[in-house]
Amino acid sequence: MLGRLLGTNYQVRNFGVNGTTLLRKGSSPNTPYWVTSQFANLTNYSVANYWAPNIVTIMLGTNDSTTHNWRYKDFFAGDLADMINILSRLPSHPRVFVCAPVPAYAVQWDITPDVIRSEVIPIIKRVAKEKNVTYINTHTPLTAGLNSTFPTSSTRTTAARRSWRGLSTAQS
């Protein structure tokens, strides 16, 4: 969807992994994004040189809100800053955007909506400001009509449109 909205001048790749955390100390049943093959591929210079992204978006934090992960919340800001640093230093020097995490409707699989809203998002906003990267609020538009922890095709479309607006506005 985001690729269609951005048009033919952009190539969109998804390096996301369901069930991962931004926290390096994320614990089972979640996996830290840092140890996934997708992150290895994204930060592998031969792959990055071939792909040469101009823009990279980060959308993590939902799985970090679980009690078994959020006990490491003191590391969240530092881990986000590190990820922004690593991605912005890819050979193509992409512009990095951070998106609010996917909202949760109710506590499910220990994912905690209140932690996402009142703790995770404020940290993401603060780190985005400190690192001088654009923050895209994909959380608020996705809460309308949300009835499960994971977004439906309708809410994914809303997130793509919100990301497109954020990217388009920032690029002008």
- What superfamily would CATH give domain 2-167? SGNH hydrolase (3.40.50.1110)
C-alpha dist (Å) from residue 33 to 37, 64, 71, 155: 9, 11, 17, 23
pLDDT for 171:
47
Q: Read off the amino acid at residue 172.
A: S
142 has a pLDDT exceeding 70:
no
Q: What's the CA gap between 122 and 22, in Å, rounded?
A: 15
Per-residue pLDDT tens over the stretch 74-113? 999 999 999 999 999 988 899 999 999 877 876 677 889 9
φ, ψ dihedrals at 139, nearest 5°? -70, -55
DSSP string of 59-93, one letter each residue: ---TGGGSHHHHTTGGGHHHHHHHHHHHHHTSTT-
In angstroms, the first-to-last Cα distance of the chain is 21
Q: Would you list the domain boundaries of the chain?
A: 2-167
% of the chain exceeding 70 in pLDDT: 74
pTM assigned to the model = 0.81
C-alpha dist (Å) from residue 71 to 43, 82, 119, 136: 28, 19, 12, 26
% of the chain exceeding 90 in pLDDT: 44
Structure tokens at 137: 């609020």
φ, ψ dihedrals at 111, nearest 5°? -70, 130
Partners of 59 in beta bridges: none
